[in-house]
Amino acid sequence: MRRLTFQIVPICTLLGVFSMGAGTLRAQDSPQTRDQTTPAKDSAADADPLPTMFAHPELDRWWISGQVNFISQWHPEFHSPYQGPRSLPPQAQDATSRVLTLFTGVRLTDRAELLCDVQETGGHGIGEAVGLAGVTNLDIVRNPDLSKAPYIARLMWHQIIPLGDRKIGNSRSPFSLFPSLPEHRLEIRFGKFSMADFFDNNTYGTDTSFQFMNWTVDNNGAYDYAADTRGFTFAAMLEYHERSWAVRFAEGLMPKIANGIHLDADMRRARAENVEFELHGTVIRHREGIIRFLSL
């Protein structure tokens, strides 16, 4: 199995200064077609940032970046004495998927920003993502009849409410453009996004574009969050941050049918609550650790 990922990171100035990340070719794996770029943590800057061709100003209000993800997989012919319409075909098969993402955002004030991501997806997965207990390619959705036209993956308002004067550095990302954040604060988000953008994040199994591709090891395999076929929902989220801990709560819409593309706007009939408590500490010297408790 092969994966080719290119990421173009911040095109920040009005003059159009481009920053391009290195293309990578590796044998690993992506939620249901949610392009995953790991949200920046406010504790420290990324220890291993993507290389860039040109420096970009950290104080710039604008963000434009792009990502192209291709995953190619193959399996040989195998013996299958028991099979049905939802089984993995025993014939040799290869398939390639693609996800193209354009991240955009504008920081309107020191406390508010608007973020919008557009995606285009296509290609296929082996077995069309059925017949396997752990789907091997999270860039594939289980609805081959979905339109191939570009769509808005994320469109969210992000508001910061400072609760103290002390500030900490923030590694900017498509999900947060602020170069610094109040250490003690409230964060409010509402709009369209993926629950997995902000819940159940960890260092090695969250960014499905650069890490593992199997559905059962992406985030917590048991975390069945509210999402449409492509992995997104309309939701509102509130976060409270202290120096050594944080708690977040989100309310999101459920699909009208399981794995469906249409969301149910009647919250009296269907909705999803997500609560996560995050505790920061140090067990190994000079190594920050995080414990998270998630409920939904």
Q: 105-123, pLDDT tens digit by residue?
A: 999 999 999 999 999 988 8
Residue 130's pLDDT band (cuts 50, 70, 90): confident
What distances in angstroms separate CA 9 from CA 6, 130, 194, 203, 289, one per listed residue? 10, 34, 20, 20, 27
Look at 85 and 186; give whichever has higher pLDDT: 186
Residue 29 has pLDDT above 50, yes or no: no
Q: What is the pLDDT of residues 44-63, one digit of tens each?
A: 444 555 555 555 566 688 99
Strand order from edge to edge, sheet including 93-107: 24-26, 2-8, 62-75, 93-107, 112-123, 151-162, 185-193, 233-241, 245-252, 272-284, 287-295
Report pLDDT for 19. Answer: 32
Report pLDDT for 7. Answer: 52
CA distance 207 to 79: 34
- Sign of the dihedral through C-alpha 132, 135, 139, 144: positive
Residue 179 has pLDDT above 80, yes or no: yes
Residue 37 has pLDDT above 70, yes or no: no
Residue 206's pLDDT band (cuts 50, 70, 90): confident
Q: What are the sequence ranges of the domains in the chain?
A: 2-295
* Mean pLDDT (whole number) for 236-257: 94
